Amino acid sequence: MATSQAQALWNKDAAFRCWATRHGGVYIKPNDRTPPNPQLAYLPHRDVETTIGGKLTLMNPAYMMRQMTEEYAGMYGVKGFANMAQDAVECDSMAHKCIEEINTSLNRAEGLVKHLSTFSQKQQSQKGPMNIAYTLKQTMSFLKQTSPASVNVKTHIEANCPEIIGDISHVNQVIHNIFTNALQALPSGKGNISVALYTISFESENTQANLPPGNYVCIEFKDDGQGMPPDVLQNMFTPFYTTKAVGKGSGLGMSSVLGI
């Protein structure tokens, strides 16, 4: 149900975007939540001024619709009706429990849609200079504390690792998604996971990673899992593809990593 709901929302959002592409957009007052869209910076009329001095910026209708559904999710749609129905029945009734399961599925669907937004790179990226060594150290410290005691987590960070240009929240999500996959790959939930950060240089183009010559930083993950068979490996970045049981994985973790 969660996957179907997420796919329906994704299709609706795509339809809005197709319509907006053909018909343009709408002008709104820019603020912290809806700043001028950098993807529309090439348009000479993206930012306009009214005859009385007011500032307006061009906005995609699909983006506005998504904001509305986020802010008023509790009032409209399936979730809103489910909440009202739950309030109208006895707490210990079967109907109350069934509606609670509906809400659980809807919450899972919302999570899938957020993953899809990242995967499609619709979210604005706040890139800037960042200390990748410090970011990895802080993130791994949290992941290590929340991992089972049966898992041995080791982190090795190369000294004097240079800063990079990136989005801290996106880098954190990449680390979290890959670490979660490594954690779930351990046999019987026991074993070792090692994460290393180091610099690497290419004197010529690296065709495997599609990288031009230059200096890079690399985050390497290793675990005691048995690895992926060829049929799973070739679908590793396929959206909604998962080998986990129903409700245990969205199939969007590695797709989000690729999208970022």
Supply 107's token pair. 């919450």
Whether 147 has a pLDDT exceeding 60, the answer reads: yes
Angle between helices 94-119 and 2-23 (to 10 degrees): 50
Pairing outcome for strands 191-202 and 151-157: parallel
* Architecture of the domain spanning 128-227: 2-Layer Sandwich (3.30)
Cβ–Cβ under 8 Å, residues 196 and 156: yes
Cβ–Cβ under 8 Å, residues 155 and 192: no
Which pairs from 138-143 meet CB under 8 Å and 24+ separation? 139/172, 139/175, 139/176, 140/175, 140/179, 140/195, 143/175, 143/176, 143/179
Supply 145's token pair. 């504390």
Whether 250 has a pLDDT exceeding 70, the answer reads: no
Res 87: pLDDT: 79
CA distance 109 to 10: 10
Res 122: pLDDT: 46
Cβ–Cβ under 8 Å, residues 119 and 255: yes
Domain boundaries in the chain? 2-119, 128-227
What is residue 17's DSSP assignment?
H
- pLDDT tens figures, 68-102: 666 555 555 566 667 777 778 888 888 888 888 77
Supply 250's token pair. 């969205």
The pLDDT > 90 percentage for the chain reads 9
Q: From residue 116, how far is each of 21, 68, 110, 191 by CA, in Å?
A: 20, 18, 10, 31
CA angle 30, 120, 217 (to 5 degrees): 100
Res 190: pLDDT: 86
CA distance 62 to 43: 18
